[in-house]
């Protein structure tokens, strides 16, 4: 368990009154930002408003207390919204709680097994693709509330939602659209003039005031949900074998997404503060936070990049700021939650539109598709399309599979065997020896094993030197091809010399007994020495 120490404990060693004041101010500001977002994301996830606050309070506090980043702020995020909504619609809140707890356990195991660094092996194009795809699904999911539409059905899949929008757009509520447009305008324009007060909070206050004072026929949160200011209650969900088996794929989805998004948020935070997070401790903190959130009525949580950035920009220096943010939200839950009933649904939709826009990274998508190699653009587009039209897990695995296949093809193209020269070596009183020198470049693996030279010249009069100084790695498939080449050389009474074999290929040859089979004398560092050794070997063979 070495190095698995929460960042909070490390930060407190050098903590001071000045740092606490900075963390207190940052925590309060982040809580103000998180309040409308937590409610909006809860509604987008198909759960009640207070469950969003439960998540921000419990997960936000525990990630700060147990995580591996000094400034990470956790809570419900847009990346989970469509996934959670689908799980709730299919398996109910109990199924979601079971899946989230299992996901939390998986995250803790990942952290203990030091798997935090594996996230770096997920290509950037996949991250961009599924993030943009999630943004699109959020927008499509909020069209109904933004325009005040009346649906005949309650679709879950994105395609079905699009069809329902088209079929029922004639039910548009002009007043709802006007309120949504007003809120969206505030979200866009307000930050251009005043940055200290969050635009989302102003949008909520203005929209709620307009609807209430003008008695507009616009749905509010209170019209659709029962608002509770009660503290979260402990509840252990069903963990029968059937339930666990049923929700296990959902648990893997939550765990993978939580790991990816939280560690990406940590990387962004590291760049802003010039520090380094402990990725394995962060996974453990995220796991404990998600399990606890589910046990107390919350939904999945992860590191929130926007809230983390706000924490840094407002002076947050340690995990105490995240804990303050959670405590402030708890106070709001107890004393101010009933007022959330006044928030109009179009305003919630407008907030989520902005969240989706900010997370979409559309400029990055366009730039990657235009400027990146076609293979990278293909991975991005496949991941994006599958995220929107199918499932996030399918999208990630398909993107990874495609990225791996394209990488193999690219790498195989970089491997080549080039005939460098053909020399006649003469020893006094002996017949000359004709030597072919091949220079191998690139990794030798199953995708490039066919690049090895073939024996298509006259038997008994030549030898081959394989210059392998530029071969970085070797796998068993390529080794079997080398063994085949070696056996063909023996049949044709030819010498095969390996020159400048690097550490990894040599280790594979020794482990598979190929080195012993061929003989140490056939492995020579310098290509010139290898050519001179050929005739000596042929003389010994003749004797």
- Do the Cβ atoms of 207 and 183 come closer than 8 Å? yes
Tokens found for residue 170: 């004639």
475: phi then psi, degrees, rounded to nearest 5: -115, 180
CATH number 3.40.50.2300 is the correct assignment for the domain at 415-542: no
Q: What is the pLDDT of residue 87?
A: 92
What is the DSSP-derived secondary structure letter of residue 220? B
Tokens found for residue 407: 């990488």
Smallest CA-to-CA distance from 199 within 40, 26, 330, 36 is with: 36
What is the DSSP-derived secondary structure letter of residue 216? -
Smallest CA-to-CA distance from 348 within 48, 7, 31, 26 is with: 48
519 contact partners, CB below 8 Å, separation of at least 6: none
Q: What is the pLDDT of residue 424?
A: 65
C-alpha 94: how far from chain center: 26
DSSP-derived secondary structure for 69-105: -SS--EE--HHHHHHHHHHHHHHHHHHHHHHHHHHHH
Q: 3-class DSSP state for residue 39?
A: helix
Over its length of 543 residues, how does the chain's per-residue pLDDT go in tens digits?
568 899 999 999 999 999 999 999 999 989 988 998 899 899 989 999 999 999 999 999 999 999 999 999 999 988 888 889 989 988 999 999 999 999 999 999 999 999 888 777 788 898 889 888 888 988 998 999 999 999 888 787 888 889 999 999 999 999 999 999 999 999 999 999 988 788 988 999 999 999 999 999 999 999 988 888 889 999 999 888 888 999 999 999 999 889 988 988 898 888 888 888 999 999 999 999 999 999 999 999 999 888 998 899 888 999 999 999 999 999 999 998 888 889 999 999 999 898 888 888 888 899 988 888 888 999 999 999 998 988 777 888 899 999 999 988 888 888 887 777 766 665 544 556 678 888 889 999 998 888 887 766 555 557 888 899 999 999 999 999 999 989 988 888 888 889 999 999 999 999 999 999 988 888 988 877 777 776 666 544 444
Q: What is the pLDDT of residue 463?
A: 81
Please list the residue range(s) of the chain that carry CATH number 3.30.750.24: 415-542
Q: What is the pLDDT of residue 476?
A: 93
Tokens found for residue 44: 């987008």
Q: Which residue has the tokens 């107390």?
A: 296
pTM of the model: 0.78
Q: What is the pLDDT of residue 427?
A: 52
């Amino acid at each position: 368990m070495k190095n698995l120490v929460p960042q909070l404990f490390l930060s407190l060693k050098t903590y001071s009154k000045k740092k606490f004041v900075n963390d207190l101010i940052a925590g309060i500001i982040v809580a103000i930002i998180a309040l409308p977002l937590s409610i909006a994301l809860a509604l987008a996830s198909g759960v009640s408003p207070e469950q969003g606050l439960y998540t921000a309070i419990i997960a936000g506090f525990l990630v700060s207390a147990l995580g591996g980043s000094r400034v990470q702020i956790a809570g419900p995020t847009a990346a989970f919204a469509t996934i959670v909504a689908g799980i709730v619609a299919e398996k109910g809140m109990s199924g979601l709680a079971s899946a989230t707890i299992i996901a939390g356990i998986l995250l803790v195991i990942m952290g203990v097994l030091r798997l935090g660094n594996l996230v770096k092996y997920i290509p950037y194009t996949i991250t961009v693709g599924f993030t943009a795809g999630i943004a699109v699904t959020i927008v499509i999911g909020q069209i109904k509330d933004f325009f005040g539409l009346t649906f005949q059905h309650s679709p879950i899949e994105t395609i079905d939602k699009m069809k329902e929008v088209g079929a029922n757009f004639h039910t548009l509520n002009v007043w709802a659209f006007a309120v949504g447009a007003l809120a969206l305008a505030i979200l866009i324009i307000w930050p251009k003039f005043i940055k200290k007060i969050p635009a989302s909070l102003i949008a909520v206050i203005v929209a709620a005031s307009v609807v209430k004072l003008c008695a507009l026929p616009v749905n509010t949160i209170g019209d659709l949900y029962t608002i509770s200011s009660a503290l979260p209650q402990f509840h252990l969900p069903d963990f029968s074998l059937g339930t666990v088996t049923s929700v296990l794929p959902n648990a893997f989805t939550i765990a993978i997404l939580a790991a990816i998004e939280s560690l990406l948020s940590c990387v962004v935070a590291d760049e802003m503060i010039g520090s380094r997070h402990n990725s394995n401790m962060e996974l453990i903190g995220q796991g404990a936070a998600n399990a606890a959130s589910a046990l107390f009525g919350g939904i999945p949580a992860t590191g929130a990049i926007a809230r983390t950035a706000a924490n840094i920009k407002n002076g947050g220096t340690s995990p105490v700021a995240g804990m303050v943010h959670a405590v402030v939200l708890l106070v709001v839950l107890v004393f101010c939650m009933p007022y959330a009933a006044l928030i109009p649904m179009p305003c919630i939709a407008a907030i989520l539109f902005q969240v989706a826009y900010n997370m979409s990274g559309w400029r990055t998508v366009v730039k990657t598709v235009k400027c990146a190699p076609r293979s990278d653009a293909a991975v991005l587009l496949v991941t994006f399309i599958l995220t929107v039209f199918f499932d996030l897990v399918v999208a990630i695995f398909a993107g990874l599979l495609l990225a791996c296949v394209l990488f193999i093809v690219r790498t195989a193209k970089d491997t080549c065997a080039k005939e460098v020269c053909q020399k006649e070596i003469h020893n006094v009183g002996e017949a000359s020896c004709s030597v072919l020198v091949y220079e191998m470049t690139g990794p030798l693996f199953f995708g490039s094993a066919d690049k090895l030279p073939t024996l298509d010249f006259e038997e008994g009069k030549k030898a081959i030197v394989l210059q392998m100084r530029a071969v970085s790695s070797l796998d068993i498939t390529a080794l079997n091809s080398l063994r085949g080449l070696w056996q063909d050389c023996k049949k044709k009474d030819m010498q095969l010399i390996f020159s400048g074999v690097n550490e990894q290929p040599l280790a594979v040859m020794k482990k598979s007994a190929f080195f012993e089979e061929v003989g140490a004398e056939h492995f020579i560092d310098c290509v010139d020495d290898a050519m001179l050794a050929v005739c000596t070997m042929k003389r010994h063979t003749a004797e």
